[in-house]
Structure 1
Amino acid sequence: MRGSASVAKSAPLPISGFIEFLPEQQLILQEFIRRIRAAYELHGFSPIETPAVERVEVLTSKGGEAAEREIYAISRLLGQQDGAEASDSNLALHFDLTVPLARYVASYASQLSFPFRRYQIQKVWRGERAQAGRFREFYQCDIDIIGREQLSLLADAEMPAVIYDVFRSLAIGEFIIRISNRKILQGFLRHYGVDRDTSAAGLRVIDKLDRHPPADWNKVLIAQTTLSPDVVERVTGFFFGAGGATAETLQWLKDHDANADKDFALGVEELGVVVKAVGELGVPETHFKIDLRLARGLDYYTGTVFETLLVGHEAIGSICSGGRYDDLTGFFADEKLPGVGISIGLTRLMAQLLDKKIVKPRASTPAKVLVTSLDKKHLPDYLKIANALRSANIATEVFTEEARLGKQLKYALRKGIPLVIIAGDQELSQGQVQLKYLTEDFAQKDVEEIPLPEIAARVTEKLRVLGLCGIAW
Structure 2
Amino acid sequence: MARTSLSGFPEWLPAQRIVEQAVLDVIAETFELHGYASVATRAVEPLTELLRKGETSKEVYVLSRLQADPSDPAAESDADRLGLHFDLTVPFARYVLENAGHLAFPFKRYQIQPVWRGERPQDGRFREFVQADIDVVGDGTLPFHYEVEVPIVAARALGALRELGLPPVRVLVNNRKVAEGFYRSIGLDRPEEVLRIVDKLAKVGPARVAGMLADEVGASSDQAEACLALASLSGGVEVVERVRSLAAEHRVVLDDDPAAELLEDGLAELGELLRQAEDRAPGVVTADLSVARGLDYYTGSVYETVLLGHENLGSICSGGRYDSLASDGRRTFPGVGISIGVSRVLSRLFSAGLVEATRAVPTAVLVAVADEATRPASDAVADALRDRGIAADVAPSAAKFGKQIRVADRRGIPYVWFLSTQDDGAVRHEVKDIRSGEQVEADPATWEPPAQDRRPRAVPTPG
Q: Map residues 266-305 of structure 1 onto 2, 5 A cutoff.
A: 266-280=265-279, 282-283=280-281, 285-305=282-302
Of 311, 314, 329 in structure 1, the residue corresponding to residue 311 of structure 2 is 314
**Closer/same/farther in 2, CA of residues 243 and 333 from structure 1, 3 Å limit:** closer
The 3-state SS of whatever aligns with 1:71 is: coil
The 3-state SS of whatever aligns with 2:112 is: strand
Which structure dedicates a bigger proportion of its chain to helix? 1
The 3-state SS of whatever aligns with 2:396 is: coil
Partner of 1:203: 195
> Is this contact kept in 2: 1:375–1:424, CA < 8 A?
no
| Deviation for aligned residue 1:201 | 3.2
Q: Which runs of 5+ in 1 are unaligned?
A: 1-9
Partner of 1:234: 226
> Is this contact kept in 1: 2:357–2:456, CA < 8 A?
no
* C-alpha distance after superposition, 1:241-297 (max 9, x if no partner): x455x34334545666549411221111112222333345x32x2222122221212
**Closer/same/farther in 2, CA of residues 203 and 74 from structure 1, 3 Å limit:** closer
The question of 1:224 aligning with 2:212 is answered yes
Of 366, 369, 384 in structure 1, the residue corresponding to residue 365 of structure 2 is 369
The 3-state SS of whatever aligns with 2:333 is: coil
Of 394, 399, 416 in structure 2, the residue corresponding to residue 398 of structure 1 is 394
TM-score where L is the length of structure 2:
0.84
| Deviation for aligned residue 1:47 | 1.7
* C-alpha distance after superposition, 1:383-435 (max 9, x if no partner): 33323332332322222323333333333333222333344446995744133
Partner of 2:356: 360
**Closer/same/farther in 2, CA of residues 296 and 319 from structure 1, 3 Å limit:** same
| Higher mean displacement: 362-371 or 375-384 | 375-384
| Deviation for aligned residue 1:350 | 1.9
Q: Distance in 2 between matches of 1:405 and 1:139?
A: 43
**Closer/same/farther in 2, CA of residues 256 and 58 from structure 1, 3 Å limit:** closer
The question of 1:472 aligning with 2:462 is answered no
Q: Distance in 2 between matches of 1:158 and 1:230?
A: 37
| Deviation for aligned residue 1:124 | 1.8
| Deviation for aligned residue 1:28 | 1.8
Q: Distance in 2 between matches of 1:343 and 1:84?
A: 41
Among all aligned residue pairs of Structure 1 and Structure 2, give the percentage whose two residues are the same amino acid.
37
Q: Distance in 2 between matches of 1:165 and 1:381?
A: 49
| Deviation for aligned residue 1:80 | 5.9
The question of 1:169 aligning with 2:160 is answered yes
Q: Distance in 1 between matches of 2:244 and 2:351?
A: 43
Partner of 1:414: 410
Partner of 1:3: none
Partner of 2:42: 51
**Closer/same/farther in 2, CA of residues 29 and 189 from structure 1, 3 Å limit:** same
Partner of 2:239: 249
> Is this contact kept in 2: 1:392–1:456, CA < 8 A?
no
TM-score where L is the length of structure 1:
0.83
The question of 1:327 aligning with 2:327 is answered no
Partner of 2:112: 121
Q: Distance in 2 between matches of 1:61 and 1:205?
A: 20
Q: Distance in 2 between matches of 1:418 and 1:84?
A: 63
Q: Distance in 1 between matches of 2:452 and 2:61?
A: 50
**Closer/same/farther in 2, CA of residues 453 and 110 from structure 1, 3 Å limit:** closer
- 2:9 partner amino acid: F
The 3-state SS of whatever aligns with 2:458 is: coil
Q: Distance in 2 between matches of 1:286 and 1:390?
A: 46
- 1:223 partner amino acid: G
**Closer/same/farther in 2, CA of residues 70 and 295 from structure 1, 3 Å limit:** closer
Q: Distance in 2 between matches of 1:234 and 1:255?
A: 11
> Is this contact kept in 2: 1:306–1:322, CA < 8 A?
yes
Q: Map residues 62-73 of structure 1 onto 2, 5 A cutoff.
A: 62-63=53-54, 66-73=55-62
Of 131, 140, 160 in structure 1, the residue corresponding to residue 131 of structure 2 is 140
RMSD: 3.1
> Is this contact kept in 1: 2:237–2:274, CA < 8 A?
no
**Closer/same/farther in 2, CA of residues 422 and 220 from structure 1, 3 Å limit:** farther
| Deviation for aligned residue 1:130 | 3.5
| Higher mean displacement: 100-109 or 427-436 | 427-436
> Is this contact kept in 2: 1:421–1:436, CA < 8 A?
no
**Closer/same/farther in 2, CA of residues 329 and 453 from structure 1, 3 Å limit:** closer
The question of 1:463 aligning with 2:449 is answered no
| Deviation for aligned residue 1:99 | 1.5
**Closer/same/farther in 2, CA of residues 175 and 358 from structure 1, 3 Å limit:** same
Partner of 1:5: none
| Higher mean displacement: 162-171 or 144-153 | 162-171
**Closer/same/farther in 2, CA of residues 288 and 59 from structure 1, 3 Å limit:** same
**Closer/same/farther in 2, CA of residues 352 and 469 from structure 1, 3 Å limit:** closer
> Is this contact kept in 2: 1:106–1:333, CA < 8 A?
no
Partner of 2:64: 75
> Is this contact kept in 1: 2:362–2:456, CA < 8 A?
no
| Deviation for aligned residue 1:60 | 2.3
**Closer/same/farther in 2, CA of residues 426 and 165 from structure 1, 3 Å limit:** farther
Q: How many residues align?
A: 440
> Is this contact kept in 1: 2:130–2:341, CA < 8 A?
yes
| Higher mean displacement: 68-77 or 307-316 | 68-77
**Closer/same/farther in 2, CA of residues 67 and 206 from structure 1, 3 Å limit:** closer
> Is this contact kept in 2: 1:94–1:100, CA < 8 A?
yes
The question of 1:433 aligning with 2:430 is answered yes
> Is this contact kept in 1: 2:415–2:432, CA < 8 A?
yes
- 1:470 partner amino acid: R
Q: Distance in 1 between matches of 2:234 and 2:451?
A: 50
| Deviation for aligned residue 1:461 | 4.5
Q: Which runs of 5+ in 2 are unaligned?
A: none
